[in-house]
């Protein structure tokens, strides 16, 4: 009798422990990033509304596309290299587009900040889509 009660109890536990279908959050640079804010330097502070069409798409095969107002303006290959910043000698990550230095990069899970190493430099803030 004990055997007959144990089997359904184990089956009940196994079914009750089913994991929820949760998508893991994307990490790293791969994915689509849309511009949300530009600030610093002599540029007036500007917020960009969602779905503004100014974005980067970084792919796992090291290719990218760049759009402004939904128009393709640049595409090719990208890389990220750790370099000392010219003014502070702190190590920074530099984003290269088509083998040319594009900008200093600060990557957070859902935010990509592109700018330069100067304190009063312009920075563009992108959010992961």
Q: What is the mean pLDDT of residues 79-103?
A: 81
4 sits in the region (left: phi over 0; alpha: psi -120 to 50; else beta) called alpha
The four Cα atoms 110, 115, 117, 119 give a dihedral, to 10 degrees, of -100
The pTM (predicted TM-score) of the whole model is 0.72
Confidence (pLDDT) at 41 = 77
Instruction: Determine the topology of domain 27-128 in CATH.
Output: Lipocalin (2.40.128)
Q: What is the mean pLDDT of residues 102-129?
A: 87
> How confident is the model over 5-63, as pLDDT tens digits?
444 444 434 444 444 444 334 459 999 999 999 988 776 788 999 999 999 999 999 99
Higher pLDDT, 26 or 114: 114
Average pLDDT, the chain: 79
Confidence (pLDDT) at 101 = 87
Residue boundaries of the structural domains of the chain: 27-128
Confidence (pLDDT) at 119 = 67
Please tell me the distance from the alpha carbon of residue 112 to that of residue 51, in angstroms, as a whole number: 17
pLDDT range class, residue 86, cuts 50, 70, 90: low
């Amino acid at each position: 009798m004990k055997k007959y009660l144990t089997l359904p109890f184990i089956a009940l536990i196994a079914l009750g422990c089913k994991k929820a279908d949760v998508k893991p959050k994307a990490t790293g640079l791969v994915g689509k990033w849309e511009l949300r804010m530009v600030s610093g330097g002599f540029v007036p502070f500007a917020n960009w509304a969602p779905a503004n069409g100014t974005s980067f798409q970084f792919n796992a095969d090291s290719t990218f596309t760049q759009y402004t107002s939904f128009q393709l303006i640049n595409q090719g290959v990208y890389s990220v290299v750790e370099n000392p910043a010219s003014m502070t000698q702190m190590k920074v990550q530099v984003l290269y587009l088509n083998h040319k230095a594009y900008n200093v990069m600060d990557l957070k899970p859902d935010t990509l900040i592109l700018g330069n190493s100067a304190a009063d430099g312009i920075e563009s803030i992108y959010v992961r889509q």
